[in-house]
């Protein structure tokens, strides 16, 4: 059994990491705009440092990013040249509702995305749209405290009703929240949360979690009502935790860490809060803000498919000292059997097959790999060419394991979109130099460069992979 004929090959981006045009055509400010490059980025992302406006002492990479706002047609043409069947992108909430709590949308913002979707249709590319990718209007943070406030559910409902209606027939695949479990690790990015002095942070995070889960279920309901052809997915920052060894304490720790990740998509996929979570929250004295009717909404509106990002597996160890490895926000124990990227992210292609099987065993719903890739420094040679053999090796190894999960294990898989198919701003570090793309963009970490697009060696490699439906890696 090979990959399906209509397998959705493509690439993925997020509005705040590529669009720029932060103040154009009525767009409002979002949390992601005011996150700077440099040492303050991390405390801000974690919700530990309040920073809700621009100042003169920082550089804000999302303001211009790779200026896809003005280059999108050229970029889509390059994606089409590679043979993309799908393109994962996100909407900037503040283009459509600049403050987030208006009744009427901003027509210029709606029109912008409509043009993109129509161009995708013309090129035979199926859009896969993330409704919020770490994205929250600043006004909703200042006025309501972000997702800690239940009113956010109404504002989100207004957003989704607007976009499902407007883009009916143009978009069929939607993801409600990017990496929803990231809320627990980077609450400013995941939920627009800035902690107040002395508050119970875990309690705040789980209040926000319930609100996002409710909003996600309502979005699923509305999407299906507006167009039965709509397919809604949840989105998990995945990567199985392996126990460091067979010490039962390490095995138990790996199980606990995996459950912490699955908490959100257990609810989105199965429709109820898992017992392990209810017990643990009870022990910690944390209360979910469940109101009458909420549990029915969660139960009746589960997702159609499970999407996830995979960069690496992780290791759990509680016995003795351990070396740490880096990762997107998650810090984990280093796996002595794996090599690491220049940013210290460990490389584990087989872990993708393992993770796919874990998720499929758990939910038996179709999967969609919507992020995977290698962040690396690319240096153009004297001819201006980028021979990114390291990226090709990474992707080929992961795609090979992905195919085994489908062909040998029978996992249902809708598609694969590699992360950052065009170089864009790193979510974790704010750097441009951490590049994932098949297409090089001439821009550096502090905003210098012509923004010129150049195909890398991997561009032609991926084109061949798609043309052969993954047979020629």
Residues contributing to the site for ligand BG6 (CB under 6 A)? 14, 17, 178-179, 237, 309, 328, 371, 375, 419, 426-429, 434
Residue 107 beta carbon to ligand BG6: minimum distance, rounded to whole angstroms: 28
Least Å distance between CB 24 and ligand BG6?
22
Q: Which one, 308 or 461, has the nearer CB to ligand BG6?
A: 308
Complex with ligand BG6: residue 237 or 332, whichever CB lies closer:
237
* CB atoms closer than 10 angstroms to residue 218: 21
What value, to the nearest 5°, has the Cα angle with vertex 378 and ends 372 and 382?
150
Query: Where would I find the H helices in 301-437?
Result: 349-363, 389-407
**CA 152 remoteness from chain centre:** 20
Nearest to 426 by CA among 391, 368, 377: 377
SS3 11: strand
Report the residue number, 258 or 426, with the smaller CB distance to ligand BG6. Answer: 426
Under DSSP, the state recorded for 29 is: P
Nearest distance from C-beta of residue 281 to ligand BG6, angstroms: 25
DSSP 169: T
Report CA dihedral (260, 375, 9, 268) to the nearest 10 degrees.
20
Residue number of the CB atom closest to ligand BG6:
428
Q: Which of 371, 385, 412, 471 is catalytic?
A: 371
Task: Give the nearest distance from C-beta 290 to ligand BG6 in angstroms.
Answer: 28
Alpha-carbon distance of 20 to 117, in angstroms, equals 18
294 or 423: CB nearest ligand BG6 = 423
CA 62 to chain centre: 16
Nearest 10 degrees: Cα torsion 185, 187, 188, 190: 90
Q: Which is nearer to ligand BG6, 144 or 440 (CB)?
A: 440
CB of 192 to ligand BG6, least distance (A): 16
**Is position 291 annotated as part of the catalytic site?**
no
| Nearer residue to ligand BG6 within complex by CB, 298 or 439 | 439
Burial of 468 (0-12, 13-18, 19+ CB in 10 A): exposed
- Residue 174 in contact with residue 226, Cβ under 8 Å? no
Helix H or strand E encompassing 205: helix 201-226
Asked if 408 contacts 360 with a C-beta cutoff of 8 angstroms, the reply is no
Residue found under tokens 């509305």: 222
Q: How far apart are CB 324 and ligand BG6 at their closest, in Å?
A: 17
CA distances from 147 to 137, 152, 280, 282, 346 (A): 11, 6, 22, 21, 32
We find the least distance from the C-beta atom of residue 220 to ligand BG6, in angstroms, to be 20
In the complex with ligand BG6, the residue whose CB is nearer, 105 or 375, is: 375
Least distance from ligand BG6 to the Cβ atom of residue 349, Å: 17
- Contact (Cβ atoms closer than 8 angstroms) between residue 167 and residue 113: yes
Q: 419 or 438: whose CB is closer to ligand BG6?
A: 419
Angstrom distance (rounded) from CA 204 to CA 287: 10
Q: Which has the closest alpha carbon to 62: 82, 39, 37?
A: 37
User: Strand runs (DSSP E) across 302-448, as ranges?
Assistant: 305-310, 314-316, 324-325, 332-333, 339-340, 346-347, 367-371, 413-419, 439-441
Residue in the structure block whose two tokens are 């309690």: 203
- CA–CA gap between residue 453 and residue 437 (Å, rounded): 11
Catalytic residue ranges: 371
């Amino acid at each position: 059994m090979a990959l399906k004929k209509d397998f959705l090959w493509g690439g993925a981006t997020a509005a705040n990491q590529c669009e720029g045009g932060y103040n154009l055509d009525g767009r409002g400010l979002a949390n992601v705009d005011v996150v700077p490059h440099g040492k303050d980025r991390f405390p801000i992302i974690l919700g530990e440092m309040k920073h809700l406006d621009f100042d003169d002492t920082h550089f804000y990479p999302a303001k211009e990013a790779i200026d896809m706002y003005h280059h999108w047609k050229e970029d889509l043409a390059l994606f089409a040249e590679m043979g993309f069947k799908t393109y994962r992108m996100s909407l900037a909430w503040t283009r459509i509702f600049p403050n987030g709590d208006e009744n009427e949308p901003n027509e210029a913002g709606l029109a912008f995305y409509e043009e993109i979707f129509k161009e995708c249709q013309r090129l035979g590319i199926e859009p896969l749209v993330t409704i919020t990718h770490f994205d929250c209007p600043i006004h909703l943070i200042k006025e309501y405290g972000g997702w800690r406030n239940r009113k956010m559910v109404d504002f989100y409902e207004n957003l989704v009703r607007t976009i499902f209606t407007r883009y009916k027939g143009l978009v069929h695949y939607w993801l409600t929240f990017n990496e929803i479990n990231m809320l627990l690790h980077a609450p400013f990015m995941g939920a627009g949360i800035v902690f107040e002095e002395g508050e119970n942070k875990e309690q705040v995070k789980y209040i926000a979690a319930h609100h996002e889960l409710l909003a996600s279920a309502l979005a699923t309901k509305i999407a299906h009502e507006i167009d039965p052809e709509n397919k809604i997915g949840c989105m998990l920052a995945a990567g199985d935790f392996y126990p460091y060894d067979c010490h039962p304490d390490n095995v138990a720790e790996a199980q606990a860490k995996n459950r912490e990740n699955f908490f959100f998509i257990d609810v989105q996929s199965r429709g109820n809060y898992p017992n392990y979570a209810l017990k643990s929250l009870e022990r910690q004295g944390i209360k979910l803000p469940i109101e009458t009717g909420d549990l029915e909404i969660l139960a009746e509106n589960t997702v159609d498919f499970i999407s996830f990002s995979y960069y690496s597996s992780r290791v759990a160890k509680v016995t003795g000292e351990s070396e740490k490895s880096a990762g997107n926000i998650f810090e984990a124990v280093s796996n002595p059997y794996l090599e690491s990227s220049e940013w210290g992210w460990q490389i584990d292609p087989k872990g993708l097959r393992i993770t796919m099987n874990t998720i499929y065993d758990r939910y038996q719903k179709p999967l969609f790999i919507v992020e995977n890739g290698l962040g690396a420094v690319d240096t153009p040679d004297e001819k201006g060419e980028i021979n990114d053999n390291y990226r090709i090796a990474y992707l080929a190894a992961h795609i090979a394991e992905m195919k085994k999960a489908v062909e040998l294990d029978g996992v249902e898989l809708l598609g694969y979109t590699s992360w950052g198919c065009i170089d864009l701003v790193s979510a974790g570090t704010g750097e441009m130099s951490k590049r994932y793309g098949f297409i090089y963009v001439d821009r550096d970490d502090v905003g210098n460069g012509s923004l010129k697009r150049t195909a890398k060696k991997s561009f032609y490699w991926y084109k061949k992979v798609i043309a052969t439906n993954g047979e020629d890696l």
